[in-house]
Structure 1
Amino acid sequence: MEQVQALPTILLVKDDQLIQSIVEEALTEGGFEVSIFASGEEAVAALSRETFRAVVSDIHLSGKIEGWEVARVAREIDPALPIIYMTGKAAEEWPSKGVPNSVLLTKPFAPAQLVTAVSQLLNANTPTGNAP
């Protein structure tokens, strides 16, 4: 009997439910499982108890923790974890506040752009010859 591999789980941090749904649908159709969190605080708590293959985070979130901090915490846990930021207003802050080897998508973007960014970062972090 063939073993079924679990889909890679992406941590999604977005407080706007409409955009949350669009992003979730794009990632699901792209072959990923998605765990959604509406605040940076919820996302940071999840990072400490679960394993994710990538983080997709809006920059400006409700609560005290922004997407920049979510990414820093994620990278403290896994220095190679792919990070994709989404923003409409904070793109100019990315060079100083973003983590290295991350991707920034400025809104509006096509859902396919997000799936491509996640896939490229995951493929770049997969050792040759090993299954993801």
Structure 2
Amino acid sequence: MGNAVSVLVVEDEALICSFIEEALLEGGFEACSVHSGEAAMSTFRNGREGCRALLTDINLGDGISGWELARQIREITPDFPVLYVTSASAPDWESRGVNGSVLIQKPFAPAQLAAAISQLLGGATSSD
């Protein structure tokens, strides 16, 4: 169990969050879920969860956006894998997404999600 790669999931809608968790579990990952960018930053800074990738919605309620969250995380860990999921913000990705990130539009199939994370981690895990 402990060998699964942990993904930091940031999604403020509970139903979508559990859908993402299921998709990751099916893909062999562990999900560490939080519901705001602020909570994600403190989880990331604590490092206790040992997350290896970020999967974030763009619109996270009143706090910082997924765009901003990814930028803050990249300031700490420059090559941290980032996957955005969004229904409406895809056109902004080129201007606002971080380098090397991936974007998936809602609605998506569970397998798409796991495949995107695997792809993002492809470079990161082979050097272990």
Secondary structure at the aligned position of 1:125 is classed as helix
Identity of aligned residues (%): 47
AA aligned to 1:86 is: V
RMSD of aligned C-alpha atoms? 1.4
Task: Map Cα deviations across residues 60-83 of structure 1 (whole Å, 9 max, x no partner).
Answer: 002221101111122122111110
Output the CA distance in 2 between the equivalents of 1:125 and 1:80.
Answer: 9
TM-score (norm 2): 0.92
TM-score (norm 1): 0.89
Q: Which residue of 2 aligns with 1:36?
A: 33
1:7, CA displacement in angstroms? 1.4
Output the CA distance in 2 between the equivalents of 1:63 and 1:30.
Answer: 31
Output the CA distance in 1 between the equivalents of 2:9 and 2:55.
Answer: 5
Are residues 1:22 and 2:15 paired? no
Segments of 5+ residues of structure 1 without an aligned counterpart are none
Q: How many residues align structurally?
A: 126
Q: Which has the higher Rg, Structure 1 or Structure 2?
A: 1
Segments of 5+ residues of structure 2 without an aligned counterpart are none
AA aligned to 1:66 is: S
